[in-house]
């Protein structure tokens, strides 16, 4: 396998960066929509879980109230029976026993009525929360539908171009040596704009815009070794990187500036 020159390696990296930057532009076009869609989906799942729990709690409270109402009806039936039995008591012992049973059933009714009031109060609170949760879920679902449509429209417009660019990126990556590829990916992942390879423009790094010393600009233009910005760590290339040969005029100008500064 033929060893590539530094200039060729730099050209490979810069070409890869141009492809990846086009992919980044498509992602910027999508903006925060994929994240927003995902967040809304998660929120709706959470709201649905809450609605299900509240709905089950309301049903359970209605069931509890019904059970206490049944207890009241049963106690009233017993009271009626014991009242009729009082008319036929034969001794004080039977009278006292029936009186205690009547008192017990009346207490049972009071307790059940209290439980019913508590259940109704809790049910009303739960139902209000349930209505609010359902309204919120309905609004979030409408937002999700709108954002899904918006995202799908962007995807439909850019899908083919993005797929084409990703294939080009994969192909370009295969030609870059592993060590440089690791460095490129590490630098690229460190910056939000994904810029790992930057041109020197107006004597400054095209990534962080800090000034590049003339001597360093000369070395970058000569393409004898891979140079990184001392401020941001991005790989630096000259303005004519995509041309096969180093531009003599550009080198002469860089040398002239460097010599003037040294003097």
Q: What average pLDDT does range 174-194 have in this prediction? A: 93
Bridge partners of 198?
236
Euclidean distance between CA atoms 218 and 244, whole angstroms: 17
Query: Does residue 135 register a pLDDT over 70?
Result: yes
Tell me the domain boundaries of the chain. Answer: 13-18+178-262, 31-173
Question: pLDDT tens digits for 16-72?
Answer: 999 999 999 888 888 888 889 999 999 999 999 999 999 999 999 999 999 999 999
Question: What percent of the chain stands above pLDDT 90?
Answer: 73
Tokens of 87: 């008319």
Domain 13-18+178-262 identical in fold to domain 31-173: yes
Three-point CA angle 117, 118, 123, nearest 5°: 100
Three-point CA angle 22, 23, 26, nearest 5°: 90
Instruction: Just give the CATH number of 31-173.
Output: 1.10.287.1490
Query: Does residue 248 register a pLDDT over 90?
Result: no
Euclidean distance between CA atoms 75 and 100, whole angstroms: 13
Q: What is the pLDDT of residue 258?
A: 45
The fold of 13-18+178-262 is: Helix Hairpins (1.10.287)
The full DSSP string for 169-216 is HHHHHHTS-HHHHHHHHHHHHHSTT---EEEEETTEETTT--B--HHH
Q: Phi and psi dihedrals of 195, rounded to 5? A: -90, 110
Mean pLDDT of the chain: 89
Question: pLDDT tens digits for 147-181?
Answer: 999 899 988 888 899 999 999 999 999 989 999 99
Q: Are 263 and 240 in contact (CB under 8 A)?
A: no
Q: What is the pLDDT of residue 246?
A: 53
Euclidean distance between CA atoms 118 and 132, whole angstroms: 22
Confidence at 127, pLDDT banded by 50, 70, 90? very high
For 62, which DSSP code?
Answer: H
Query: Does residue 85 register a pLDDT over 60?
Result: yes
Smallest Cα–Cα separation from 151: which of 24, 18, 10, 34? 34
Q: What is the pLDDT of residue 227?
A: 95
Q: What average pLDDT does range 87-115 have in this prediction? A: 91
Query: Does residue 255 register a pLDDT over 50?
Result: no
């Amino acid at each position: 396998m033929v060893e590539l020159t530094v200039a060729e390696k730099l050209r490979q990296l810069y070409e890869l960066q141009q492809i990846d930057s086009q992919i980044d532009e498509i992602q910027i076009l999508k903006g925060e929509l994929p994240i927003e869609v995902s967040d809304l989906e998660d929120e709706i799942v959470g709201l649905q879980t809450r609605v299900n729990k509240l709905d089950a709690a309301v049903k359970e409270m209605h069931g509890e109230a019904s059970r206490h109402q049944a207890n009241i009806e049963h106690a009233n039936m017993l009271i009626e029976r014991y009242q009729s039995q009082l008319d036929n008591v034969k001794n004080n012992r039977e009278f006292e026993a029936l009186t205690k049973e009547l008192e017990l059933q009346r207490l049972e009714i009071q307790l059940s009525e209290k439980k019913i009031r508590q259940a109704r109060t809790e049910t009303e609170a739960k139902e209000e929360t349930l209505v609010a949760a359902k309204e919120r879920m309905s609004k979030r679902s409408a937002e999700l539908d709108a954002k899904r449509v918006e995202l799908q429209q962007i995807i439909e417009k850019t899908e083919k171009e993005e797929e084409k660019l990703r294939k080009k990126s994969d192909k370009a990556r295969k030609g870059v040596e592993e060590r440089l590829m690791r460095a490129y990916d590490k630098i690229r992942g460190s910056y939000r704009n994904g810029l790992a390879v930057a041109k020197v423009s107006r004597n400054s790094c095209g990534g962080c815009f800090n000034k590049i010393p003339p001597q360093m600009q000369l070395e970058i233009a000569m393409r004898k070794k891979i140079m990184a910005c001392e401020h941001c760590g991005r790989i630096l290339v000259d303005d004519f990187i995509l041309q096969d040969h180093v531009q003599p005029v550009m080198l002469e100008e860089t040398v002239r500036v460097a010599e003037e500064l040294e003097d």
